[in-house]
Amino acid sequence: MGSLIVRALSKFIAGLLLIMLLIFLPAGTLAFAGGWLFIGLLFVPMLIVGAVLLVKDPALLEKRLNAKEKASEQRAVVAVSGAMFIAGFVIAGLNFRFGWLELPAAVVAAAAAVFLLGYVMYADVLRENAYLSRTIEVQEGQRVVDTGLYGIVRHPMYAATVLMFLSVPLILGSLISLVIFMVYPFIIAARIKNEEELLGRELAGYSEYKNKVRYRLIPFIW
């Protein structure tokens, strides 16, 4: 348990420092309210969810800390995602620094609400699915989960992250960053394609589940 706490806190602090560096260094100041709003929206719930998992399901927390993909296709997806985040955060900081475009406070508030909605969905998926690793794999004894949000779309965690990540640039006040983050749904679509191929081969009952729940990410659309 002690080593798990150290690993979790180390990743939390490293992530916090990295995001602060990517946002505030290009902004040229710490007086970037949108940056602090985003950090609060991201890291306060993250700390709470991590603490809950540590107490109630440390095995799931352990899985969530393991982010090393085995398949080359998924390593490429992770690399592209990382480049997208770096570019989006840096541009948002520069947008604030040089005043390229200011978004109305109502837009920022609405984006913050959507981000929190995505976080609630994300937490619910963690509660529903004990097999939710950050890497694409089939675990020993894994079964198909078809309850809760999994009864609506096959990949509710990805749906939650799409809501969250597309709202991030608006919270940071940057439409240019939004254009960059629009790559994310396409990244997720590629990941889902690879993941469903694996699950169809290796997870018993997944083909039947696909027939039962038709939509991958967005109800009535895809």
Q: What digits encode the pLDDT tens for the residues 11-66?
A: 899 999 999 999 999 999 999 999 999 999 999 998 988 888 888 878 777 777 76
CATH topology of domain 2-212: Four Helix Bundle (Hemerythrin (Met), subunit A) (1.20.120)
Contact assessment for residue 103 and residue 29, using Cβ atoms and an 8 Å cutoff: no
pTM score, two decimals? 0.86
Position 148 scores a pLDDT of 84
Q: What residues contact 221, with CB distance under 8 A and at least 6 apart?
A: 215
Both tokens of 135, joined, read 């890497």
pLDDT at residue 131, rounded to an integer: 66
pLDDT digits (tens, 9 = 90+) for 138-178: 666 677 888 888 889 999 999 999 999 999 999 999 999 99
Query: What's the CA gap between 36 and 29, in Å, rounded?
Result: 11
What gap in Å lies between CA 54 and CA 176, rounded to an integer? 38
Q: How confident is the model at residue 68 (pLDDT cuts 50, 70, 90)?
A: low
Q: Which residue has the tokens 């260094």?
A: 25
Tokens coding 30: 């710490």
Contact yes or no for 187/81 (Cβ under 8 A): yes
Q: Please give the Cα distance from 41 to 115 (Å, whole number).
A: 8
Please tell me the distance from the alpha carbon of residue 160 to that of residue 151, in angstroms, as a whole number: 15
CA-based end-to-end distance of the chain: 41
